[in-house]
Amino acid sequence: MLNIIKKEIRELLTPASIASMVVVAVIFALVGQMVGSPMNEITEKPSIGVVNQDEGLFSQTAIAVINENAEVLYLGEDRDAGWEKVQEKGIALLVIPEDFSSSILEGRPARIEVNWLLKGTGLMDNISSVAVTGLIQMINTSISEELISGGIEIPPEVALSPVGLSETVFLKDKVIPGVSPEALSGLLISQSVTIPIVIMMMVIMAGSTVISSMGLEKESKTLETLLSLPIRRRDIVIGKLAGSAAVGLIMAVIYMLGFNYYMESLTVSSSIDLGALGLSLGMGDYLLVGLSILLSLFAGLALCLLIGTFARDYKNAQTLIFPVTILAMVPMFLVMFKDFGTLSLLLQVILFIIPFSHPMMAMRALMFDNYVLVIGGIAYLAVFSIAITLVLTKIFSSDRLLVGWSWPKRGAKA
C-alpha cells in the first residue's frame, strides 16, 4: 500500500504542481495584505479639505473636532482652492455652509456638505469613507454636548442630532448627488463582484475541460485517429475552441442567473437607479461587453488548448490546469478590489496582458465612458486569439502532439 501512496504522490506532486501551489499561496497572501491595508486606513486619520463659510460658534467646534481627528489639507473659505488640495491626495472636501450655526440656534438641523472624491468603484476604492462619516458623527456629538450643557433651548431631536450631512460623489467626470460612496458601490456590486466571479468560473471550467480533453484524447489515442482523418488542421483547432467556447458561454449564463439571484436576495433594492445617475449602459455598450466576453473566452481557451498540448495524459492534464486557475484569479481579485485607473502601472500592465481581465473590467469602464480601455482590450484580445490560433494550427500540423515536447536528453513517449 505504501507503494501505491508513493506512486500517487509522485504523479501528483510534480515540480509544476508544486510551483502552482506556491503561486496560489503567494496570491492569497498578497490579497490578504491588500484587504488588510484599508482596515488600517480606517484607524488612520482621513485626509480631507475643509471650507468654512460660517462665522458662528458651532463651526469652530466642528473645526476643532476635525483638526483633532483628521489630516486637514486645506482650511479656508475658497471652495475651488480646497477641491484642488483634495484632488492631490485627499478623499473628501467638507463644506460648512454659511447658515450652519444660525440654523442650529433657530432649532433646525444644520448640514455639512461632504463632497467625496472617489477614484474608483472597486471594493477597496471607497472603504476609507467610513473614517469621514465617523468624523461627522463626532462633530454631531460635540455640538450636541455643547447645546445641552449650554442650556440652549431648542427642540430635543435637534439638540441630540444637530448636524446632518448632504453627500455628493465625484467619480471620474461624473457628479452624483445624494449618494454615499457605500451606496454607490453597493449599487455597482454586480460590476465589481458578480461579473469578475462569473468570468473567473467560466474560464476555469471551460479552460479545464479543454486541457483535460487534450490529455484524454492523447491517452485514448482518439487524437491520433482524428489527425489521420481528412480534416484540415485549422478546422480541428477552431472546432475544439468553438465547441468549448459554446459550453463556456452556457455555463456563464447559468452562473450569472444564479449569482444575480443570490445577490438580489442579499442587497436591499435601492431607491437610486443607475439611469438617473448617468451610469446606465446603451445598446452599443452591451455589444462591446458581449464582444469582450466572447473574445476573452476564445483567447483564454486558445491559451488552454496550447497548454493542453503539453499534457501527456489525463492525469498530467489536471496539473496543467493550475496556471489557468491562477491567471483567472489574479484579475478577478484585482478587478474586484480596485479600478483599473487606481492600480499601479505594473499591475495595470499585468491586468491588461491577462486576457481574462478585459470582460471583468468592461462594464464598469463603459459606465464611466472609458472606451479606450474597452476597445483597446478588444483589439488586444483579437490579436491574441489570432496569434495563438496560428501557433496552434502549426503545432497540430507538426508531429509535436504525438511525439511530445522533448527537451534535450529527455524524450517523452506520446
Partner 1 sequence: MNALEVKNLVKDYGNTKAVKGISFDIAEGEIFGLIGPNGAGKTTTLRLVATLLEITSGSIKVFGIDAVKDPAGVRKIISYLPEEAGAYKNLKGRQYLEFIANFFGDGKEKEEILRRGVQIAGLGQRLDDKIERYSKGMLRRLVVARALMVEPRLAILDEPTAGLDVLHAQEIRRIIKDFVRSGRAVLLSSHNMLEVEFLCDRVALISEGMIVERGTPQGLKERYKRPNLEEVFVEVVG
Ligand X SMILES: Nc1ncnc2c1ncn2[C@@H]1O[C@H](COP(=O)(O)OP(=O)(O)OP(=O)(O)O)[C@@H](O)[C@H]1O
The C-alpha atoms of residue 220 and residue 314 are separated, in whole angstroms, by: 9
Q: Say whether residue 398 binds ligand X (CB under 6 A).
A: no
Spatial separation of the C-alpha atoms in residues 193 and 263, rounded to whole Å = 10
Query: Which member of 99, 219, 313, 369 binds partner 1 (CB under 8 A)?
Result: 219
Q: Which member of 230, 282, 344, 346 binds partner 1 (CB under 8 A)?
A: 230
Indicate which single residue of 37, 166, 220, 270 sits in contact with partner 1 (rule: CB under 8 A): 220
Instruction: Rule CB under 6 A: say whether 401 interacts with ligand X.
Output: no
How many CB atoms lie under 10 A from the CB of residue 265?
Answer: 7
The least CB distance from residue 309 to partner 1, in Å, is 15
- Residue pair 177/116 in contact (Cβ under 8 Å)? The answer is no
How far apart are CB 12 and partner 1 at their closest, in Å?
23
3-class SS at 92? Answer: strand
What single-letter amino acid sits at 341?
G
Binding residue for ligand X, selected from 403, 405, 407, 410, defined by CB under 6 A:
403
The reply on whether position 227 binds ligand X by CB under 6 A is: no
- Residue 36 near which of partner 1, ligand X, none (CB within 5-8 Å, type-dependent): none
Binding status of residue 413 toward ligand X by CB under 6 A: yes
Pick from 51, 137, 404, 410 the residue near ligand X by CB under 6 A: 404
Nearer to partner 1, 113 or 219 (CB): 219
Binding to partner 1 by residue 270, rule CB under 8 A? Answer: no
- Can you tell me the distance from the alpha carbon of 170 to that of 172, in angstroms, rounded to the nearest whole number? 6
Based on the shown chain and the rule CB under 8 A, indicate whether residue 149 belongs to the binding site for partner 1: no
Q: Which residues of 165-186 are buried (b: 16+ CB within 10 A; e: fewer)?
A: bebbbbbeeeebeebbbebbbb
Q: From ligand X, partner 1, none, which one binds at residue 7 (CB under 5 to 8 Å depending on kind)?
A: none
Q: Which of 232, 257, 353, 383 binds partner 1 (CB under 8 A)?
A: 232
* Other residues' Cβ atoms within 10 Å of the Cβ of residue 380: 17
The Cα 412–Cα 414 span in angstroms is: 6
DSSP, residue by residue, 1-30: -HHHHHHHHHHH--HHHHHHHHHHHHHHHH
Out of 155, 278, 376, 411, the only residue in the binding site for ligand X (CB under 6 A) is 411
Which residues of 269-392 form beta strands (DSSP E)?
none
Which residues contact partner 1 by CB under 8 A? 219-222, 224-225, 227-232, 398-399, 402-403, 406, 408-409, 411
Which residues contact ligand X by CB under 6 A? 403-404, 411, 413-414
